[in-house]
Structure 1
């Protein structure tokens, strides 16, 4: 379908959290929602950069309601602090977009000793979602959108070595593991929400191959971005469609539909069979609860 951000329905009165919204596709998610009247919460690790991005949006939409919150998804204590602060200061939440992430960095760990990509991209968002779910449920028809990637396709969840401590670290292997975990989580979350009779729904999206700062650790990818990547604005379309359009509730995973889903119009994205395995999803959920200490919908 030829859906564009300008076609988004009015979002006045809705409260939306976007993690990692100071740059890249996250910035354009914040921009798009603000342009349609939503109360936007930019949840970012670097508040200085987030403030600059907020000011850019306000320059185009002076009346936009945009709040800044500091959030470090590589620190469970910080995630809990953010969630408690947000719940205490806000009485509703309609949209949660789990967007922030790191991509192919040198080997490092989170503050909780998890491999950085799995710990940030999956575990951080798992914990955040569980902590914010009670607030989402205060309003009907809340939506949780978890951003995955076409890189989920080669991904394997190695339950024997989630933190890449036993084998040689693979930047791409760990990234793909985090992205298939994102998709497994989104699908399993929706299944559990439906089974529990909740009104909140869980969807997933991916940006195709978009030009963002996510590839900052690779000189080659920064060069390729110039010639082959979609713009970050185009990359944000599938997520905003999933977050706001009623048609999006008819499927669970949205993204570009061109050649190998790297670019193109928003549509139904293909889901690798591994990401649909219920036993894997249940095991991932259990392990994620154990690792984060955040339990919900068990």
Structure 2
């Protein structure tokens, strides 16, 4: 799918052509992989899914629970997190589904979450960095970070870094980072992390963070070679989730109106992350980028720059180091 859903609200003249293309694509495309046809079991395995109280994350957690895994929902909102846990337990019959509080926009919250995990869990086999936000108002966090960068990238970077030893100990293990096709419109400017030289226009900041997700994943995969831990990134598709909750009414209305007819459901959006996390076909694959059809594709050129990936990783390490 080469069209971008942001045209729907940022360029109204594209709406008709976008809708026509969406109809054609929707009619012709069939998922190349379906989790319900995948026989892989996860009994005795432990998985963490961030942002799992709603949307794609909840369906990922639901699938893991069906497969017999111990599933930890890492959520910011306790009430919504508990509701998701209860729903998954009732749907799957598994009581091995648990909530742990995590706000990826706060480095302190990430460190507290990891401390609790390391105290409670002996193993970790799957980490899905799914939590993310778009359209957040401009703000600098207590850590001195631009809030979208903190939420979508720096927090997940620190979370993953602090859990690496446990993942290595539990190998084979998989790290799955949910990015977006919108990374093609992202730019790399390390001043952005501190909120400098950022243009807060529609989803621009979100796009930058999604590009950084892929760049980081590639270097992470290189560092993990030989450990039995893989790391991949992906585009889940144009999905009907509450990702638009921070935009104004008109934008949300247009997104929901068009999405109702043509976008993927949250369950369908979970297919690509689940493919990377559990499929036999993805076993041993690392440092790659998958599209919403669970196919290997090339990301944008900056995400293929190995020197930039090293710079990215080292920058984030300095950014997240304890003072």
TM-score (norm 2): 0.84
Q: 1:269 offset after TM fit, Å?
A: 3.2
* 1:273 to 2:301 alignment: yes
Largest Rg, 1 or 2: 2
1:209 to 218, 228, 238: 238
Question: Contact 1:106 / 1:171 at 8 angstroms: preserved in 2?
Answer: no
- CA–CA distance in structure 1, aligned partners of residues 234 and 199 of structure 2: 30
Instruction: Tell me if the contact between 1:105 and 1:171 (Cα under 8 Å) persists in the aligned partners.
Output: no
Counterpart contact for 1:110–1:120, Cα < 8 Å: no
Q: Equivalents in 2 of 1:148, 1:199: separation in Å? A: 23
Do the aligned partners of residues 232 and 189 (structure 1) sit closer, same or farther apart at CA in structure 2, a change above 3 Å counting? same
Residue-by-residue CA offset, 1:58-80 (whole Å, 9 max, x unaligned): 11222341011000101111100
The match for 1:99 among 126, 130, 142 is 130
1:250-275 CA distances to partner (integer Å, 9 max, x unpaired)?
4622222xxxxxxxx33223311111
Give the secondary structure class of the aligned counterpart of 1:55.
helix
**Aligned mate of 2:143, from 82, 104, 112:** 112
Structure 2: runs of 5+ lacking an equivalent? 1-30
Aligned to 1:52: 83
Name the SS for the 2:203 alignment partner: helix
Given that residues 146 and 182 in structure 1 are in contact (C-alpha distance below 8 angstroms), is that contact kept between their aligned partners in structure 2?
yes
Query: In structure 1, what is the equivalent of residue 262 of structure 2?
Result: 228
In terms of mean alpha carbon deviation, does 176-185 or 243-252 score higher? 243-252
Q: Map Cα deviations across residues 122-166 of structure 1 (whole Å, 9 max, x no partner).
A: 100000001011111112211111110001111111123333334
Partner secondary structure for residue 215 of structure 1 = coil
What residue in structure 1 maps to residue 281 of structure 2?
A: 247
**RMSD of aligned residue pairs (Cα, Å):** 1.6
The residue that corresponds to 1:261 in the other structure is none
Residue 71 of structure 2 is matched in structure 1 by 40
Q: Is the 8 A contact 2:65 2:94 kept in 1?
A: no
Report 1:1-298 matches (<5 A).
2-8=32-38, 9-194=40-225, 197-218=226-247, 219=252, 220-248=254-282, 249-250=284-285, 252-256=288-292, 265-293=293-321
Aligned match of 1:262: none
For 1:273 and 1:243, how far apart are their aligned partners in 2? 25
Structure 1, gaps ≥5 residues long: 257-264
Q: Is the 8 A contact 2:72 2:98 kept in 1?
A: yes
Asked if structure 1 preserves the Cα contact closer than 8 Å seen for 2:47 and 2:70, the reply is: yes
State how many pairs are aligned: 284
Q: For residue 171 of structure 1, report the CA deviation from its aligned partner.
A: 4.0
Other structure's SS at 1:160 match: helix
